[in-house]
Amino acid sequence: MAESAESIIALLSILPSFLPIILILFSAVYGTIYQNGLEKKRLRREMEFFNKYGKDNLMTLENHGLSGKPVAMNLVFTNVTVGPSWWQLFIGWLKGIFGGEIQSYSRVLNYGRMEVLQRLREKAAQEGWDQVINVRLESVVISKSAGRNDKTSAIEIYAYGTAVKY
Amino acid sequence: MQPQQPVQIAVSNTETIAGATIVQSLGLVTGSTVRAKNIGKDILAGLKNIVGGELGTYTQLLNEARNQALQRMMADAQARGANAVVNVRFATSAVAGGAAELFAYGTAVIVQG
């Protein structure tokens, strides 16, 4: 009995040293499933939007003479903060040795861009605007605390434009 | 200090305001705020970072902060007697560890019509 108790204690004492590996594996498996789910959800929302309104209501042009003279306008903006998973960070670090495209990062950023645009579409449509003109997209890295070992890595992407009503 | 009332004036990031003509320019107006992320949100975001995807706590925090920067810009414009702000731009920068400055600027104008 004393032997089995000892072996359990021994097992528990070495467990913390395996924890990072367990977390990274968890991040690789569950993170991939989770991000695929997010991507699917975004695509579905996009499809629903296009089925309902028939066209994209965003444009980067300032010339709104295309659809007539607007009678009202207001600024709209949306944002999203995304971060790569630990697994993606690890892959990115590995890729950093050899160079080339870091697909795990591009994937996260691409998701963020598409998501924030979809939010802008939905917000403008919900508030009853016909079109959003002069759309601008910007992004900023917002984590990495100075002097601390900050494990988070976050990129904020925001989009803004002028919503108009014809 | 009095609680600030939300300012409502026409704001756009184009050079014109719908159905109105600009009669006078009152110069550049700005509004900014520096926000630090708190430790609770840090922990939540840190956990969420394991799987990646959206970090909802930061999204909400920055959205509120950007709204405040915009409100300050509008208050500045109103104090100058403007009734609209055109060509608004946003800028964001991580100024110090764990803090971001959110900045909005535009041209305050008087419109008629």
Chain B hits for A71, CB-CB cut-off 8 Å, are: 18-19
pLDDT range class, residue B4, cuts 50, 70, 90:
low
**pLDDT digits over B11-56, tens only?**
888 888 877 888 888 989 999 999 887 777 778 877 888 888 888 8
Distance from the Cα of residue B88 to its chain's centroid: 9
Rounded distance between C-alpha atoms, residue A96 and residue A119, angstroms: 32
Please state the domain extents for chain B: 10-112
Residue A70, pLDDT score: 79
Question: Which portions of chain A are predicted below pLDDT 70?
Answer: 1-2, 64-67, 143-152
Cα dihedral across residues B79, B85, B87, B92: positive or negative: positive
Contact call for A35 and B56, based on CB within 8 A: no
* Backbone φ, ψ for residue B95 (5° rounding): -80, -40
Rounded distance between C-alpha atoms, residue B23 and residue B14, angstroms: 16
The alpha carbon of residue B6 is apart from the nearest alpha carbon of chain A, in Å, by 15
pTM (two decimals): 0.82
Residue A19, pLDDT score: 81
Q: A81-94 burial string, b = 16+ CB within 10 Å, else e?
A: bbbbbbbbbebbee
Residue B41, pLDDT score: 77
Please give the CATH topology (third level) of the domain spanning A2-165. Translation Initiation Factor IF3 (3.30.110)
Structure tokens at B32: 């900014």
pLDDT range class, residue B3, cuts 50, 70, 90:
very low
Interface of B with A (CB under 8 A): 10-15, 17-19, 37, 42, 45-46, 48-56, 58-59, 62-63, 66, 70, 88-94, 96-98, 100
Nearest to A35 among B42, B52, B55 (CB): B52
Q: Nearest chain B Cα to A63, which residue?
A: B14
Task: Please state the ipTM of this predicted complex.
Answer: 0.83
Please give the CATH topology (third level) of the domain spanning B10-112. Translation Initiation Factor IF3 (3.30.110)
Please state the domain extents for chain A: 2-165
Structure tokens at B36: 């630090």
Contact call for B14 and A73, based on CB within 8 A: yes
Reported as type and span, the H/E element at residue A12 is helix A2-53
Distance from the Cα of residue A138 to its chain's centroid: 13
Q: Which has the higher per-residue pLDDT, A65 or B89?
A: B89
pLDDT score of B1 more than 60: no
C-alpha torsion angle, residues B110, B111, B112, B113 (rounded to 10): -160
* Polymer length of chain A: 166
**A 77-106 residues inside an 8 A Cβ radius of B:** 77-88
Q: Which residues are within 8 A (CB) of A90 and not within 5 positions of it... i.e. 6 or more apart?
A: A24
